[in-house]
């Protein structure tokens, strides 16, 4: 087939958008060669807020527009790439492109996690695909792997580190002995964290990605309100110290697991991961996802989870896939939910061992009071510790740690409410899962 150009409508020319333009310029001939000379991708229109702004890429003024409607409607645009973020304008752009039967490539995990039901319905109605490799784990091809390479597997579980900012912060708290606030400031200074890092540190960036992975693996839309999410804001050096002493590291872990009855467990929270497990060695801004399929067994996917080049690489891979679907009409080649509904296991019914830290008034009988409440609930204790700080031997308030045997999370939550009401407890207890991976 003779090669002819396909026009790209790029919504957003920030870090990733600029990376896409540069990658297409740099590797246009390579892409054409690897697709048998049938595909050449060219940027036809770019949506920007300020056409006069200085950018790392140079584009003719006639290719820049400030109205997304002009970009989507342009007959020179064959494929629409949405990289503006958010869930409002981005939704309008993606839905309009689908209705115009123009394939969509997006890296917007929040958009798909929160409004994917509507967009996938449009994708099906107009027989036009949405590709979103860049939405999860940057340059790691985890979306395509789960969707295609594991198509013949029942996926038992996916566990991973899928937020590089939190992973960097936790590593610096571990290796550098930093407080959370200092590690966050360092991450911001290095450009690893945004000025507003809320979605990274509160766990929701990872949760949006985990929701997409679960949707791919189990085929039904997932309500974000039903997902248990906890961030790393309450991690303190004492927690890092205990984890190290016990042979663990602290990671913000996304857990997706199918149970024998078909219910899907989906949660994101700081967790103790054994140093012997390969995920414990994933440091810095790197991501990793361990996928366990019934036929393939366990596989690990590792790489940079963010950044201009890794994310642009995933966008370009999706662009080539979208171009192939236009060149060779073989039906819908994007993802569509294949089950109308499924069951999320309530977080209250999930079970793990746990680490619990209490801020207590240091007086006789405190340990006994807490231990009695746990025993009355039938929760076993595997260890306790009340560290004394050498520089504060007579402190009136201390941290007291309990290590608990595997128990139902709902039972633990109920019991902690009872314990929190004790007059010796000064704040809400902090809970980390101790994962068995």
Phi, psi of 103 (to 5 degrees): -55, 150
Q: Which two tokens stand for residue 204?
A: 């929701």
pLDDT tens string 248-271: 999 999 999 999 999 999 999 999
Is residue 74 within 8 Å of 37, Cβ to Cβ?
no
pLDDT value at position 394?
52
pLDDT tens string 21-78: 999 999 988 988 888 888 889 999 999 999 988 888 989 999 999 999 999 999 999 9
Is residue 352 within 8 Å of 412, Cβ to Cβ?
no
Question: How many CB atoms neighbour CB 406 within 10 A?
Answer: 13
Mean pLDDT of 392-416: 86
Q: Where are the domains of the chain?
A: 4-138+308-327, 144-304, 347-434
pLDDT tens string 337-364: 778 789 999 999 999 999 999 999 888 8
**Model-level pTM?**
0.90
Res. 392: pLDDT tops 60? no
pLDDT value at position 276?
95
Is residue 257 within 8 Å of 156, Cβ to Cβ?
yes
- Catalytic positions: 209
Fold of 144-304: Dihydrodipicolinate Reductase; domain 2 (3.30.360)
Is residue 8 within 8 Å of 78, Cβ to Cβ?
yes
pLDDT value at position 395?
57
pLDDT value at position 390?
47
CATH number of 4-138+308-327: 3.40.50.720
CATH number of 347-434: 3.30.70.260
Is residue 300 within 8 Å of 290, Cβ to Cβ?
yes
CA distance 434 to 169: 19
224-251 core/surface letters (b: 16 or more CB in 10 A; e: else): eeebbbbbbbebeeebbebbeeeebbbb
pLDDT tens string 126-173: 999 999 999 998 889 999 999 889 999 999 999 999 999 999 999 999
């Amino acid at each position: 087939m003779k090669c002819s150009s396909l026009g790209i409508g790029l919504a957003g020319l920030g870090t990733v958008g600029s990376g896409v333009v540069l990658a297409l310029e740099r590797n246009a001939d390579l892409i054409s060669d690897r697709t048998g000379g049938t595909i050449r991708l060219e940027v036809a229109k770019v949506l920007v807020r300020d056409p006069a702004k200085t950018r790392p890429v140079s584009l003719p003024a006639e290719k820049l527009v400030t109205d997304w409607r002009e970009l989507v409607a342009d007959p020179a645009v064959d494929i629409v790439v949405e990289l503006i973020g958010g869930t409002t304008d981005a939704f309008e752009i993606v839905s309009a492109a689908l209705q115009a039967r123009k394939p969509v490539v997006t890296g917007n995990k929040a958009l798909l996690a929160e409004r994917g039901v509507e967009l996938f319905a449009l994708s099906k109605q107009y027989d036009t695909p949405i590709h979103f490799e860049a939405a999860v784990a940057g340059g790691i091809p985890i979306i395509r792997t789960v969707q295609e390479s594991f198509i013949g597997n029942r996926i038992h579980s996916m566990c991973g580190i899928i937020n590089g900012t939190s992973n960097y912060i936790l590593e610096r708290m571990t290796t550098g002995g930093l407080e959370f606030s200092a590690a966050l400031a360092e991450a911001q200074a290095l450009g690893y964290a945004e000025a507003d890092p809320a979605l990274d540190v509160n766990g929701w960036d990872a949760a949006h990605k985990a929701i997409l992975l679960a949707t791919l693996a189990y085929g039904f839309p997932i309500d974000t309100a039903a997902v248990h999410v906890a961030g790393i804001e309450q991690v303190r050096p004492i927690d890092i110290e205990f984890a190290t002493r016990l042979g663990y590291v602290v990671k913000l872990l996304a857990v997706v697991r199918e149970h024998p009855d078909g219910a899907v467990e989906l949660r994101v929270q700081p967790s103790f991961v054994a140093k012997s497990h390969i995920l414990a060695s994933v440091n810095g801004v790197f991501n990793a996802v361990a996928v366990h399929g019934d036929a393939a067994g366990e596989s690990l996917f590792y790489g940079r989870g963010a950044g201009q080049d890794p994310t642009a690489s995933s966008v370009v891979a999706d662009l080539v896939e979208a171009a192939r679907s236009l060149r060779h009409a073989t039906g819908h080649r994007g993802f569509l939910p294949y089950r109308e509904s499924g069951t999320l296991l309530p977080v209250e019914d999930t079970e793990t061992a746990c680490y619990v830290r209490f801020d207590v008034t240091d007086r006789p009988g405190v340990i006994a009071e807490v231990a009695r409440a746990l025993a009355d609930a039938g929760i076993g204790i595997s260890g306790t510790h009340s560290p004394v700080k050498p520089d504060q031997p007579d402190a009136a308030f201390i941290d007291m740690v309990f290590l608990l045997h595997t128990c139902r999370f709902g039972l633990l939550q109920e019991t902690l409410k009872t314990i929190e009401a004790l007059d010796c407890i000064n704040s809400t207890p902090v809970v980390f899962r101790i994962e068995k991976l």
